[in-house]
Amino acid sequence: MPLYKTITVSPFIKLLVWKVSEAEADLKKDLSLTPGSELRLEGMKSEIHRRAYLSIRYLLALMGYVDHDLFYDSSGKPHLTDGSHISITHSHHFTGIIISQKEEVGIDIEKQRPKIIRIAHKFTPYGISSLDEKQEEEIKKLTIIWGAKESLYKIYGTPGLSFFKNIFVTDFNSITENKTTAKIIFEKRESFYTVSFLEFEGFTCVYALQNYLD
């Protein structure tokens, strides 16, 4: 069982990462899926996506949940039947979940790739004039910013939210800082967040927590 990483963020928040190495049949044989989940799985053309989907059910099981405990609202945001907050991510052979009994949470895993430089102007104003595809640190930093905005978008769960116009990540000098802050300004309302990040095997994992003492 390739549980790759466990992070206890607080007594009420836990993050789990799975490295998917099993065959699809091996992942599926011990799982009990709802009819809706079976239908969704059958509709996935990519084997990588199906294996990721199944691995997330194992992560849920490690946290004491079954497939039936997970459901999605009309905007596609996941929820748990006991009222805890959950966010889900997958990228290539890594999947992850973060579950919180209190704060709203979001998670994103991204592979670090040079092509992020070409789209940087679409989601952040930071460092655009100095970007160079050979600058590994800039690629890592942009991946963190993108992952932070993905995480916040998942928390907010509102269609129409713009990465560039509505989600703002506080600049940080080094990726070794491992933490920054962020805010969302949307429809004359502001909300504030703490953002943490880490790296492994050429991937970046970012997770965000909503601050309720705004």
Please tell me whether residues 16 and 81 are part of one structural domain.
yes
pLDDT of residue 83: 97
The residue segments making up the domain with residue 78 are: 3-102
Q: Domain of 15: which CATH number? A: 3.90.470.20
pLDDT of residue 127: 58
Please give the span between the terminal C-alpha atoms of the chain, in angstroms, as a whole number. Answer: 41
Q: What is the pLDDT of residues 107-141, one digit of tens each?
A: 999 999 999 988 998 999 875 545 554 588 889 99
Please tell me whether residues 111 and 98 are part of one structural domain.
no
For residues 209 and 194, the answer to whether their CB atoms sit within 8 Å is yes
Please tell me whether residues 43 and 90 are part of one structural domain.
yes
Structure tokens at 55: 């691995």
pLDDT of residue 136: 86
Please tell me whether residues 51 and 66 are part of one structural domain.
yes
Q: How much is the mean pLDDT over the chain? A: 92
Please tell me whether residues 94 and 10 are part of one structural domain.
yes
Q: How far is CA 178 from CA 80, 135, 160, 175, 198, in A?
A: 28, 19, 29, 6, 6
pLDDT of residue 145: 96
* pLDDT exceeds 50 at position 204: yes
Domain end position, chosen among 102, 131, 158: 102
Average pLDDT over residues 144-162: 94
The total domain count for the chain is 2
Please tell me whether residues 57 and 114 are part of one structural domain.
no
For residues 66 and 58, the answer to whether their CB atoms sit within 8 Å is no
* pLDDT exceeds 50 at position 214: no
Q: What is the pLDDT of residues 156-186, one digit of tens each?
A: 988 889 999 999 999 987 778 899 999 999 9
Interatomic CA distance for residues 197 and 174, integer angstroms: 11
Domain end position, chosen among 72, 102, 132: 102
Q: What is the pLDDT of residues 12-39, one digit of tens each?
A: 999 999 999 999 999 998 899 999 999 9
Largest CA distance in the chain: 52
Domain end position, chosen among 102, 124, 154: 102
* pLDDT exceeds 80 at position 60: yes
Please tell me whether residues 98 and 170 are part of one structural domain.
no
Helix and strand numbers (H, E) in the chain are 5, 11
**By C-alpha distance, which of 200, 206, 208 is closest to 5?**
200
Please tell me whether residues 168 and 190 are part of one structural domain.
yes
